[in-house]
Structure 1
C-alpha cells in the first residue's frame, strides 16, 4: 500500500492534480488519470470513452490472443501478479464475479504480469481454487508498458466495441452488490 501511496503522490504532483482530457480518437493511456485519494479503489467513468489498443497476450497454454477476441462482450480487463499483495487479495472476488456474470455478454480477463508466465500462474490459480478465471499471461509486461500503468492491480471496463468506459486503480470487491449493479448497468448500456 505504501508503494501505491508513493506513486499517487508522485503522479499527482507531476500532473498538478488535474485530469487530462482525451479526444475519442485517442488510444487509452492510464497515465491520463491523476492518482489521487479520490481515484484509488474507486470505479471511475472514462469520459469520453477511449478506444483500447488491440492488446496481445496469451492463455495458460501459451496460445496467442488479442483483446479483439472478446469483442461483443463487456470485458473487465484486470492487470495483476502473484507477487502483488493487493492483487492476490482481489482475485477471489474476480473469480466470483466471473462465476456470477461471465457468459455471452461479459467476461473477466485477468492478465498476469508474472515474468514466470504459465509456470507460475496456472499452479497459483489452482492452489487458490480460482476455477472460474482463465489464466491469461503477459510475462513481458507489454500491456502495462503500452497503457502506462502506474502499478498493480489496475482494471478497465471495456464496452462491447472495445472502448474503455471505466477504470479502477487498486483493489476492490468486484462481487459486492453495488459493484455488480454498476457492472450490470454498463453491460445493459453497451452496444450489442
Structure 2
C-alpha cells in the first residue's frame, strides 16, 4: 500500500526556514559596511558624466556605429580621440596616519572623523605590496585601454580642494 506524503507537516518548518533566511540576509547585508558606502551617494554627480564604450577588434559593427553616431550627434568627429592618460599617487600609503596598521586603532575616515579599525581593514605590508604592484597597475591599464578622451592643449591642473565640502581634501595630491 502506497501512502501519499502531505505538505501540511512541513509547512511550519518551511516558514521557520524562510524567516531564518530573511533575518540572516539582513544581517549579512548590514555587515562589513565602511564609510565609503555612505560617502559616495552623498558626494554628488561624478566629474566624468559620460563614458563611451569603444568597440574592440572582433566586435560587431552595430556597436561601432552606435559610438560613431553618438560622436557625430555631439558635433565632433571621431578624430582626435586618444587613450586617457592616468597618473596614480600612492603618497597616502607612505603616511601611516592615514590607514589602519593594527586592529583597534583609530584612524581618519573620508568624512574627517576617526573610526576604530577592524582587523579586515588593516593594511599589512603584503596587502600594500599587492595593491601597489598588482591591483593599481591592472586597474589603470584596464581603464586606459577602454577610455578615449579629446586631449586638452597645455597642462591640466588639479585645483586645490576646498576644506568644507567634498571628500577629496582628505587625500594628498602630488605637485
Structure with bigger strand share is 1
With normalisation by structure 1, the TM-score equals 0.20
Structure of greater Rg: 2
Higher RCO (C-alpha under 8 Å, 6+ residues apart): 1
